[in-house]
Amino acid sequence: MRKALRKRLLATLAAFVGTSIVIAAASTAAARETTGEERAEIAGQSLIGSLAPKLVLKTIDGQAIDLGKLYGKKAVYLKFWATWCAPCREQMPHFEHVYETAGPDLAVIAVNIGLNDPLEDVQKFRSESRIKMPIVIDDGSLGEAFHLRVTPQHVVIGRNGRILYVGHLADQRLEDALVAARMPVKTDSPLSSADVSIKTAFYRVGDQLPEISAQTLDGATFRSRDSHVNRPTVLVFMDAFCEWYLETSRPTVAKRCRAVREQVATLAQERTNVRWLGIAAGVWTTRDDLSEYRDKAKPNIPLTLDESGELFRTFRVKSVPTLLIVDTTGKIVRRIEGFDPQLPVELETVARQ
């Protein structure tokens, strides 16, 4: 996985001239590999032609952008990205050029996906790259609305307020979509006044764990509310490529991921009175990738892929690793972001309650 995924994430520039970023297909072992562009297109299939959500975004400078008020007047170009994402960095000059030459009929907005990217890192990147377009750090709403599966992911919304294009590469198809999106709205096709909103419940410490039904890699079903289980539960939010891909761009995060993975693997063997579930982020990860991670890293806990990002949004997980400790009554009693040497003691305390 390490070698294959490194190709996918670092070779986007080569992809512009025909070399694809490779992600193992999630179907059969004999299936051909899918590119990042195909992954974005598959994610966007059900979106094309649909009304874009009328969300109000807040930039890192405190400015509000009301998407609903733009529809009918301007086309909108959203680019999902992260500062640690090599393909995103490679495409940033193109993105900045689009912004600088946009004109009055196109709104260009950079949407940082908000995973392992604190505000200070985003601001530093903006300063070093000298980019000027408005930047929004996603709280999960946009990722949910536009089926975020890969970075960068481009979303083009026409002046009629409907989603026209979802893709991954900065290629001619993106350029064509940006041109088509600016076409005037036909008078016989008025904008719908329906407010398409995104609402995801948010659970924090002190709340009861919501109903979760997740299929693990081994085919079992994890249910958060199981009357036959009277043990504490630990949800481990993680990333399959954190340890090696972020080793250069986010070395502290990479070390945290490794330390927590090793700690959890040991505790899972020792604490049989605790129920564990590893929840992997779905960006740039398929079930096959997660299976390779499991076989090589040996985390010793059941793993599930949060492909849609629903669980990450439900618990507002913005960095990995993040652990949620749930007591025997189903109440979330502790949230840990990163490595906590006191985790064994805390688990023992919760198990006794």
Report pLDDT digits (tens) over 215-271.
999 999 999 988 777 899 999 999 999 999 999 889 999 999 999 999 999 999 999
Q: pLDDT digit string (tens) for 170-193?
A: 999 999 999 999 998 775 555 554
Question: Looking at residues 27-47, what average pLDDT do you find?
Answer: 70
**ω before 93 within 30° of 0 (cis)?**
no
Q: Over 80: is that where the pLDDT of 336 sits?
A: yes
Question: Looking at residues 199-213, what average pLDDT do you find?
Answer: 89
335 and 302 in contact (C-beta within 8 Å)?
Answer: no
Domains 36-181 and 213-352 share a fold: yes
Question: Looking at residues 106-117, what average pLDDT do you find?
Answer: 97
| Two structure tokens written together for 323 | 């652990």
**ω before 134 within 30° of 0 (cis)?**
no
Q: Biggest alpha carbon distance in the chain?
A: 68
Domain spans in the chain, listed from the N-terminal domain onward: 36-181, 213-352
State how far the Cα of 291 lies from the Cα of 303, in Å rounded to an integer: 9
Rounded to two decimals, the pTM is 0.86
293 and 127 in contact (C-beta within 8 Å)?
Answer: no
Q: Which CATH architecture has domain 213-352?
A: 3-Layer(aba) Sandwich (3.40)
Which among 64, 75, 55, 47 has a CA at the least distance from the CA of 161?
75
Q: Which CATH architecture has domain 36-181?
A: 3-Layer(aba) Sandwich (3.40)
Which among 319, 317, 349, 320 has a CA at the least distance from the CA of 333?
349
| Eight-class DSSP state of 301 | S
Q: Over 70: is that where the pLDDT of 22 sits?
A: no
State how far the Cα of 342 lies from the Cα of 178, in Å rounded to an integer: 52
183 and 176 in contact (C-beta within 8 Å)?
Answer: no
State how far the Cα of 161 lies from the Cα of 238, in Å rounded to an integer: 35
Average pLDDT, the chain: 88
What are the residues whose beta carbons fall under 8 Å from the beta carbon of 69, sequence distance 6 or more? none
Q: Over 90: is that where the pLDDT of 352 sits?
A: no
Calculate the alpha carbon distances from 260 to 1, 171, 216, 287 in Å: 20, 39, 20, 21
Phi, psi of 202 (to 5 degrees): -120, 125
Question: Can you spell out the DSSP letters for 141-159?
Answer: HHHHHTT--SSSEEEEE-T
Which is higher by pLDDT, 35 or 346? 346
